[in-house]
Structure 1
Amino acid sequence: MATALLSRSPTPPPSLTLHGSKAVSTMPSPALPTPGQDAERSIPIQIPNKHMCQPNPGGIKFTDPVTPPASPPNDAVSVEVKHEMTSLLFPPENYDSVCDSPPIFSIRAAALSAAVDHTAKQPLPDIEQIFPWAHGLHPDNAMQLSFFCARKKSARRTPTCYRGICIVKVGRDPMKSRLKGAIFPEEILPANPQVAGFLCVDPRDGFGVRNFHIQVGKFTGLSDIVVYGDDETDKIEVLRIAKRISLAQRHYRMQAQVAGALDFPRYSTFVLESTFSEVETLFPDMVTVGSKGNLTMNVVEFCHWERMEMCKMSEASEISNNVWIGSTADLRRQFDRREDRWGVQIESSDLAQMPLPEHLQDLLQDVDRSTAPVFIEFPGSGTISPTNWSRHDVDGIIDTCRWIYAVANGQFTEEESHDADGDHRMTPTKRVPRKILIHCADGYTETSLLALAYVMFSECLPVHDAWIKLHTEKKRNFFAYDKDLAFLRYIESTLLDAAARNRDQCFERQRIATPEWVFKMDGSLPSRVLPYMYLGNLLHANNCGLLQALGIKRVLSIGEEVVWSDEEREAFGRDKVMMVRDLQDNGCDPLEYQFRSCLEFIDEGHKLNEPILVHCKVGVSRSATICIAEVMRSERLSLPRAYCFVRARRLNVIIQPHLRFMYELLKFEETLALKAGKQPKRELEWLHVAREVAAMNRPYTRT
């Protein structure tokens, strides 16, 4: 099937478009393929069924921003005191010379490790010194220039305050022997060796503030560069690439000086004298991927880290007696922990067909005869379309729920207990209850249809109550498609009638009353990021009935004000709503100055046991930034880990804080460290963070 989550908000998503279908995708891990490299050469890692939260008619790439940009202010822009980063690689004359023309120096593993550690402790330059230059200001891009340069005349000037370290790997196999933050020559050098300088990565057209993919090219020119090869790579090839890079650095510096940056710093090129094996042995914290292609877990690799966070979030939990819901990874986890095995494993999949009654009856005999696990497939969420609902689908889901209930509770089905005339049959005296796991790859997308239907059946609840109970009481993060909810509402009376008969009870049809908030939904609930903090959109915030059903008692509005009636506002409490005004998602308006007040409002609600909804318009940028900041503060996580934490819990919507917000969060790491009385030290540098984000988004984008 090819169903994607489509929000009804009219605003397009931030610079991303839907590329694939709902089927589970694969991402390159641990390395990002170089240009021209076949995707099949990458190590596949399953990732969540993430989908863009906006439609993309005709596959046209959307442009930024999410909300209209504010009018540019006057040219008088105040800039904080200029800060320049220092490096142990400057001056380069402290190191042995390898080549004089162009100048290249050698460095050993110990010196490189010390230099990387030193740079990680250097405070990043102030945001106004880096942006909007980092957004990409191509001289032919009139749209980008007219917006950013109208705000600040010096916006196009290349910063002279940043000094990073860029590590370049030379070698044919990009999936092995990767140092922390390593990139490939093809990412920064033109394909034609005769072309001078680095690649020009600034977009020639369009307006974009989420150009994560150009940050490697942008900041390479502001970095000392260390070139190395794996143990199989010829040192002559390493030196050849180093010479090209050194010449490119000289060309870049000349261009900057011509543009007016007469004080432009001198950056240098080094070759790593130590072998990769030596680095791997003596400095394992520098290695992302070992010489055998194994992820070392010493460095945060975003794709893999998101997968781990997703598995942690969706770890199997009991939703009804002996019935659990989780991810396919729980089967492996159960084996590793030597726990009691699942007696029945039901895999929800797009490719599965509705179980036939005779097949379910045969499986009941298998359950009674043997203790061996029983395997069943069930259609994944979103596979039953309203255009082809059939009696087969209705009977199939009811039969499956009845079967699960009988096996989980050690009871007998209606077919086993009665003959065709309704008379009682002679049945065995006892059935041993079995532990059942309903699972799918990510643990929350494909399983939601069957999970909701079973909670309805086992608890005799209408769909809206089952939806809320599964989310609140059972603490399951899951995603429900509009078509699933419509189907369950369609069969609600029939399903509950069958549930009542299963208990020899009488079902009262007139008791079902669908609350008003259900009809205001777009098919998704706000995402529970922390037990006390939800991330959502403006539609969620304007649905007071939904907030009440979820137990949300506070609302933090980031740039988008809720539209409530006076009665709703009074009932909710005016002091329970905080509004951050005049904040557009345009790459210019700062959010860092709001961190303190927003986090204090969230923390106050946490202490008072008042869960909060943080929202903007779509729930992917401004509000996501605040949620990441709160996770960094409360969970004491670095930006890379907090970003993956929130991204996994946003379920089928991809969070997309723009470049400036992400840089602000990286600076926020420094603030948190200083507040805790610690020496600030970034886990990953800006170039590495941006590159990882770009790699994660690549399966969902179309270039």
Structure 2
Amino acid sequence: MATVVVQQPPQIRQSTPPPLGPTISLNQARSSTPVPNKHLPYCPPGPIPSQTQITPPNSPPLRNSTSKSSSLLHPTTSYQKLCNSPPIYGISTKQLAEALHHYSSQPLPNPTSVFPWLHGLHPENHIQLAFFVARKKSLRRTPKCLRGITIVKAGGDLSRCRIKGAIAPDEILNLSESNGRGFVECDPREGFSVRNFHIQAAKLALVSDIIIYGDEDTDHRIIKSVAERTASVQRKWRKELENAGQCPETFNTFVLTQSFEDFEQEHPELVAIDSHGRYTDHTLDFLQQERREMCAMSKASEISQGLFQGPSPGPFTDPPSLVDDPSFDLCIEASDHASLPDEKLLTAKRKQLEERAPDDDPVHLAFPSSGSILPPSWSQVEVDGILRMCKWLYELTHAMKPASKAKDEDGDIQMTEFTPRSRRVLLHCADGYTETSMLAVAYFMYAEGVPLHEAWIRLHCEKRRNFFAYPSDVALLNAIQERILRESPHSAAPQLLPLAEPPSWQAKLDGSLPSRILPYMYLGNLTHANNPEMLKLLGIKRILSVGEPVSWTEEQVNDWGRENLLMVDRVQDNGIDELTVEMDRCLEFIGRGKSDGTATLVHCRVGVSRSATICIAEVMASQGLSFPRAYCFVRARRLNVIIQPHLRFVYELMKFDEQMQEKRGEQVKRELEWATVAREIAAMNRPYARS
């Protein structure tokens, strides 16, 4: 029987990129936002040449030469010259706003014109150079098609009075004359990476006019000093390029001649954080947007009678709510610091519930988070605790009290007593799914009387819950499911006896299902793609493989129908291969599934880069979202795994955003610039990076 074989790319060791600077995290105010439970998986970038045989992959052909973007800051004839040596120009709030609006409407250069330069090509990083430019040393040259605008806030306090896209001086400048070259050395000296998002602000500063401003608390001498340093560094950098045989453009330094308060009043749409330190609704903050999308995706819903699962109440829930939301009688938070509640505690909580008036604050209880009970070390006591909690919750939500030992008039033991009303219970955690999944699945099995594999599918399909469980939870629930079903209120149902053998697809379940991005589109990895029996249960009947073929038997292929399988070949995650040329074909394939009322699984190897790029493009095309918003939309719905389209894919998606705007008949206008997008992605990923 024929089998389609998956080709394994050679594994490489990837050096850790240089640590991000202290100012990369945008500002200190964002640290209070809970970090979603995610991790950065390793993404194989494709073959890397050895030291003895340098054979880098061919770069895609340059289809269209890119003309230089125009800028209102060049030439400088319409700007007041504040200083002759070094040259510094003044710019008004109106002129700055006009320059930024004009810049955002200029098409980005073609990817082939700016890569691999944007990857970071340090002259001493032989691995990076060998991979990207061994055959074409001209690719090391600074692109002449780029002319950006970099805004620097003197003083570096970005927690207030922050113009959209503004950065701190030390993100791009060595502020001491003794530090050699004036711009920071951003290209990594060692290691190989196609995800150097943290260097992009510094890279763009090399090809930008730079605007310096301060707030009311910034000493004017500091603004003057930063401006003089910037102008001197620009002049020095230009001479370095000339000495290297290049013909560089002339970039200039500007100082905002009016106050930030004037700018804020006249152009609020260009303010990211106002003078009081409050985020504005005019500009997108990736971390805040991810939280909004995550809460929208995992919005509280009823998974069994009276039991709701969702995110912890807060400002990002819809509608925004407080922890003491009186619409719930009981709020159970899954926490790493909680222990299993004993009978005494549950009795005390029940008494509080009985004494609670309808408008009172809910009763609160903590329960151990998912992944905290680890086989094979878990004990019978812990299993007893899980079952005790399930039984207690069932009694609350089904208007039952614990069994009474008193006898009725006929001498029979009275097993239940009924209370006036059932209770509404919210099971919650920060992201709405990860930390609560173990208890949610265990309770669903208990309350509905269904085995693990059925609970898994019904929660996802019937209850529309997106969730992730740790592999240890899958092992635990599988091991104790017989006892859960035996003690379930539905244990007398004949169909539960004897317990059927689990389906074959369950053995491949590691805790994650493919991520439902849209009702008709899922994002997953190669393991998901190689589990066709599970995919059918989820309503997935089409497979889009991006660079990684499935290992299916000929019988499985024929069963699905070859027309329902699409393979996008010769696309590695290497920062060179492009996806733009495949975009229309991929989206048409997904669209046919949508028209047929079926879902498509989009996958690569890990499900975070190539396939995530396609999914982001579909969200942009179908939902009319800009790239930054589509990126956060998909990132939130990829659950515990962080999507990682590399630099070139992100750049291609920003170009795709331009195409979608033109297709809709809109004026091309970027919501955020390239350097800002890259900086935000770096800041979002920083908490998960290996130390």
Q: TM-score higher than 0.5 here? A: yes
Aligned match of 1:289: 273
Candidates 350, 356, 376, aligned match of 1:370: 356
Does the Cα contact within 8 Å between 1:536 and 1:615 map onto a contact in 2?
yes
When structure 1 is superposed on structure 2, of 509-518 and 586-595 the one drifting more is: 509-518
For 1:221, give the aligned amino acid: L
**Does 1:613 pair with 2:601?**
yes
1:487 to 461, 464, 476: 476
Partner residue of 1:255? 240
Find the residue that maps to 2:309 and give its secondary structure.
strand
Following the alignment from structure 1 to structure 2, what is the Cα–Cα distance between the partners of residues 541 and 132?
A: 32
Out of 165-174 and 204-213, give the one that drifted further: 165-174
**Which amino acid in the other structure matches residue 208 of structure 2?**
S
Residue 673 of structure 2 is matched in structure 1 by: 685
- Does residue 162 (structure 1) correspond to residue 150 (structure 2)? The answer is no
Quickly say closer, same or farther: Cα 1:224–1:247, change in 2 above 3 A. same
Identify the match of residue 433 of structure 2 among 426, 444, 465.
444
Q: CA deviation at 1:418?
A: 8.7
Counterpart AA for 1:489: N
Q: 1:122 aligns with which of 106, 122, 128?
A: 106
Q: Which amino acid aligns with 1:186?
A: D
> Could you say if the C-alpha distance between residues 252 and 557 of structure 1 is closer, same or farther in structure 2, counting changes exceeding 3 Å?
same
SS at match of 1:424: coil
Partner Cα separation in structure 2 for residue 594 and residue 619 of structure 1: 17
The one of 82, 88, 92 equivalent to 1:104 is 88
The equivalent residue for 1:353 is 339
Match of 1:558 in 2: 546
SS at match of 1:491: helix
1:66 matched to which residue of 2? 45
Return the alpha-carbon distance in structure 1 between the equivalents of residues 35 and 9 of structure 2: 26
Deviations 1:389-422 (A, max 9, x none): 1111111111111111111111234467899xx9
Question: How far off is 1:358 after superposition?
Answer: 2.7
In structure 1, runs of 5+ residues without a counterpart are: 1-7, 20-27, 55-63
Paired with 2:505 and 2:547, the residues of 1 have a C-alpha distance of 24
- TM-score normalized with structure 1 length: 0.90
What is the match of residue 23 of structure 1?
none
Residue 530 (structure 2) aligns with? 542
1:411-466 per-residue CA deviation (whole Å, 9 max, x = no partner) reads: 234467899xx962386453410111000111111110111011101111101110
Query: 1:427/1:665 Cα in 2 relative to 1: closer, same or farther (>3 Å)?
Result: closer
Match of 2:659 in 1: 671
Q: Distance in 1 between matches of 2:488 and 2:363?
A: 24
Displacement after TM superposition at 1:504 (Å): 5.8
Q: CA deviation at 1:491?
A: 0.9
Which region of structure 1 is more displaced relative to structure 2, 76-85 or 211-220? 76-85
Once residues 343 and 77 of structure 2 are traced to their aligned partners in structure 1, the CA distance between those partners, rounded to angstroms, is 79
Tell me how far 1:12 sits from its aligned partner: 7.7
**Structure 1 residues 586, 429: CA separation in 2 closer, same or farther (over 3 Å shift)?**
closer
Contact 1:9–1:618 under 8 Å retained in 2 = no
Q: Is the 1:69–1:585 contact (alpha carbons within 8 Å) kept by the matching residues of 2?
A: no
Is the partner of 1:603 in helix, strand or coil?
helix
Matched residue SS, 2:423: coil
Give me the whole-angstrom Cα distance separating, in 2, the residues matched to 1:614 and 1:344.
Answer: 39
1:383 aligns with 2:372: yes
Code of the residue aligned with 1:200 in structure 2: it is E
- TM-aligned CA distance change 1:667 to 1:426, over 3 Å: closer
How far 1:528 moved relative to its partner? 0.8
Change (3 A) 1:674 1:453: same
Contact kept? 1:500, 1:506, Cα under 8 Å:
no
Letter in 1 for 2:445: M
Instruction: Measure, in 2, the Cα distance between the counterparts of 1:635 and 1:374.
Output: 40
Q: Residue 220 of structure 1 is aligned with which of 200, 205, 209?
A: 205
Q: What is the Cα deviation at residue 13 of structure 1?
A: 10
Q: Which amino acid aligns with 2:505?
A: W
CA contact (8 A) 1:33 1:42 kept: no
- Residues 242-266 of structure 1, C-alpha deviation per residue, up to 9 Å, x if partnerless? 111111111122222223322x211
Q: In the alignment, does 2:69 pair up with 1:85? A: yes
Report the more deviating stretch, 251-260 or 443-452. Answer: 251-260
> Where does residue 222 of structure 2 map in the other structure?
237
Instruction: Report the counterpart of residue 22 of structure 1 in structure 2.
Output: none
Q: How does 1:212-611 map to 2 (within 5 A)?
A: 212-262=197-247, 264-329=248-313, 336=321, 341-371=327-357, 372=360, 373-414=362-403, 424-425=413-414, 428-500=417-489, 508-611=496-599
The question of whether the paired residues in 1 share the 8 Å contact of 2:60 and 2:576 is answered with no
Residue matched to 1:205: 190
CA distance in 2, matches of 1:528, 1:452: 18
Percent of residue pairs identical: 47
Shift of the alpha carbon at 1:505?
5.2
CA deviations on 1:552-585 (whole Å, 9 max, x unpaired) are: 1110000000110011111111100100001111
Please give the alpha-carbon distance, in whole angstroms, between the structure 1 residues aligned to 2:145 and 2:237: 16
The two structures, once aligned, show a CA RMSD in angstroms of 2.7
CA distance in 2: counterparts of 1:357 and 1:295, whole angstroms: 46
Deviates more, 1:222-231 or 1:253-262: 253-262
5+ residue gaps in structure 2?
Answer: 1-7, 50-54
CA deviation string 1:358-410 (max 9, x = no partner): 32233333333333422211110000010321111111111111111111111
SS, match of residue 487 in structure 2:
helix
| Alignment CA distance shift 1:158-1:186 (3 Å) | same
Cα gap change, 1:9/1:526 in structure 2, threshold over 3 Å: closer, same or farther?
farther
* Structure 1 counterpart of 2:618: 630
Q: 1:311, 1:329 within 8 Å by CA — same for their partners in 2?
A: no
Is the 2:92–2:257 Cα contact (8 Å) retained in structure 1?
Answer: yes
Cα offset, 1:348, TM superposition: 0.8
Distance 1:396 1:307 in 2: 32
